[in-house]
């Protein structure tokens, strides 16, 4: 457990006496969440609250990640909603625009715990919509480059100098690919789901492209890189159908020399039979634009919640140093750069992921994010399967996305 010290408390602008939150009323707070494993830090923090507040317990219910949004929509329609919910961060604006969330702007303004300066810009930005605060960052994650240092050495590459640019990454991928041993140089997930979008957007942003101009030469260059890697069989075609978890499993099993994945996989590296390391994502030559994907969840209060005051007290409790510091133990990251984690289990990897959080960009926020993401996913699939050239696939996606952005522009990038 991370010690709670006056130094870290003052660094967050939080009084030490605020360790135990006291609810506005002795009333149960109902919560729907995505914490499915007993070791999840969210469950640890729920227990902390319940132990400290016997008169105002959190009555919580696990709902699988893929079902939670649908459950919230049903709950809003029937009037059966919890007081507090975890929301996948790119869907915040969608729910806010539909009137599914309580506006937290005034509560946040009065809070001595929740301040914009305590959070990464990307994490804070994705919890807002049209200048109002609809959620509060919970746990965050991002992606970086895992690599097999032993394979680097075997191929004459210096494991202390991982690829820093696209050209270096492509050269290393070509050298590390060994078809005689069924080893691919690199792994990433291009699956037709939000995970595929999550993995590709950093390449788009590093190329100098954006969703505002998806048919630009910069955007085409980003998709062309992925297309070429799969065509050359330096990345497995399984990337089209396998999730990040599965592509990381292949890397742990020796099926690839490198893989792009997140901190949620760190506990599984114990199964790796080789020296492994983590490095920031390489940037495009000549651009030097650092970007990574921003994942994680936010805390939201559904419209019509019966105990809004109690729910916000729980959010404040979850936003304090001792609770946010636990995120690392569960393979996630605190959404605050000010959180001090003493002696993380993987110090070098933690440093790499924390660095990436400085450049992690939100998906949106936008009320039509699911439709925008679906168009991107289709473009990726069409290009990597050879059904369309990257330029053609992105032109098609642009025609879907452009009207949505004209109706509701994306905010200025926060990173």
**Does position 1 have pLDDT exceeding 50, yes or no?**
no
**Does position 203 have pLDDT exceeding 90, yes or no?**
yes
CA distance 142 to 155: 29
User: What's the token pair of residue 134?
Assistant: 């609809």
262 neighbors 142 (Cβ within 8 angstroms): yes
CA distance 368 to 376: 13
| CA 226 to chain centroid | 21
- Location of each CATH 3.40.190.10 domain in the chain: 6-142+294-361, 144-293+368-407
Q: Tokens 């592509």 — which residue?
A: 247
Please give the average per-residue pLDDT across 41-46, as a whole number.
94
Please give the average per-residue pLDDT across 47-75, as a whole number.
93
372 neighbors 381 (Cβ within 8 angstroms): no
pLDDT in tens, 210-251: 999 999 999 999 999 999 999 999 999 999 999 999 999 999
By mean pLDDT, which of 7-16, 114-123, 248-257 is the weakest?
7-16
CA distance 174 to 71: 45
Question: Residue 413: what pLDDT?
Answer: 57
pTM for the model:
0.91
**Does position 172 have pLDDT exceeding 90, yes or no?**
yes
**Does position 88 have pLDDT exceeding 70, yes or no?**
yes
Mean pLDDT of the chain: 92
**Does position 10 have pLDDT exceeding 90, yes or no?**
no
pLDDT in tens, 332-356: 999 999 998 877 889 999 999 999 9
Question: Residue 329: what pLDDT?
Answer: 83
CA distance 304 to 323: 27
CA distance 56 to 74: 26
CA distance 20 to 145: 38
Eight-state DSSP code of residue 155:
T
CA distance 348 to 208: 29
For domain 144-293+368-407, which CATH number applies: 3.40.50.720, 2.60.40.10, 3.90.330.10, 3.40.190.10? 3.40.190.10
pLDDT in tens, 251-296: 999 999 999 999 999 989 999 999 999 999 999 999 999 999 999 9
Buried b (16+ CB within 10 A) or exposed e, 390-402: bbebbbbbbebbb
CA distance 182 to 57: 53
**Does position 410 have pLDDT exceeding 70, yes or no?**
yes
CA distance 328 to 334: 7
CATH code linked to domain 6-142+294-361:
3.40.190.10
Question: Residue 294: what pLDDT?
Answer: 97
Give the rounded percent of residues in the chain with a pLDDT score beyond 70: 93
**DSSP one-letter string for 108-125:** HHH-SS--GGGS-HHHHH
Please give the average per-residue pLDDT across 309-316, as a whole number.
98
Question: Residue 411: what pLDDT?
Answer: 85
248 neighbors 268 (Cβ within 8 angstroms): yes
Question: Residue 26: what pLDDT?
Answer: 59
Examine residue 365 and say whether the peptide bond preceding it is cis (omega within 30 degrees of 0): yes
pLDDT confidence band for 18 (50 / 70 / 90): very low
By mean pLDDT, which of 8-22, 67-81, 270-284, 391-405 is the weakest?
8-22
Question: Residue 128: what pLDDT?
Answer: 94
Q: In this structure, what are the phi and psi dihedrals at residue 54, rounded to the nearest 5 degrees?
A: -60, -25
């Amino acid at each position: 457990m991370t010690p709670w010290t006056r130094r870290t408390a003052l660094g967050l602008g939080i009084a030490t006496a605020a360790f135990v939150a006291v609810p506005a009323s002795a009333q149960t707070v109902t919560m729907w969440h995505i914490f499915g494993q007993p070791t999840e830090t969210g469950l640890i923090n729920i227990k902390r609250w319940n132990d400290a507040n016997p008169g105002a317990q959190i009555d919580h219910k696990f709902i699988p990640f893929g079902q939670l949004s649908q459950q919230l929509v049903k709950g809003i329609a029937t009037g059966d909603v919890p007081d507090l919910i975890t929301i996948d961060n790119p869907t915040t604006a969608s729910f806010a625009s539909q009137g599914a969330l309580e506006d937290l702007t005034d509560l946040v303004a009065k809070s001595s715990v929740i301040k914009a300066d305590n959070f990464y810009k990307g994490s804070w930005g994705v919890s807002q919509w049209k200048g109002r605060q609809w959620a509060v960052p919970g746990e965050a994650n991002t992606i970086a480059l895992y690599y097999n240092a032993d394979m680097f050495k075997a191929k004459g590459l210096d494991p202390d100098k991982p690829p820093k640019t696209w050209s270096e990454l492509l050269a290393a991928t070509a050298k590390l690919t060994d078809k005689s041993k069924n080893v691919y140089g690199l792994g990433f997930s291009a699956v037709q789901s939000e995970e595929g979008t999550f993995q590709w957007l950093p390449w788009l942003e590093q190329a100098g492209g954006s969703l505002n101009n998806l048919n630009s030469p910069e955007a085409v260059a980003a998709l062309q890189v992925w297309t070429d890697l799969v065509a050359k069989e330096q990345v497995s075609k399984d990337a089209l159908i396998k999730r990040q978890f599965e592509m990381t499993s292949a890397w742990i099993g020796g099926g690839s020399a490198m893989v792009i994945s997140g901190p949620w996989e760190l506990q599984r590296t114990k199964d790796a039979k080789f020296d492994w390391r983590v490095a920031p994502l390489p940037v495009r030559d000549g651009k030097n634009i650092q970007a990574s994907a921003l994942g994680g969840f936010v805390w939201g209060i559904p419209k019509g919640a019966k105990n809004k005051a109690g729910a916000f007290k729980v959010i404040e409790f979850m936003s304090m140093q001792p609770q946010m510091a636990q995120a690392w133990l569960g393979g996630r990251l605190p959404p605050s750069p000010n959180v001090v984690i003493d002696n993380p289990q993987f110090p070098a990897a933690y440093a790499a992921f924390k660095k990436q959080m400085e450049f992690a960009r939100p998906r949106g926020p936008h009320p039509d994010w699911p439709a925008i993401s679906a168009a991107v996913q289709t473009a990726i699939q069409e290009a990597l399967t050879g059904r369309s050239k990257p330029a053609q696939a992105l032109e098609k996606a642009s025609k879907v996305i452009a009207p949505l952005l004209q109706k509701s522009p994306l905010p200025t990038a926060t990173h």
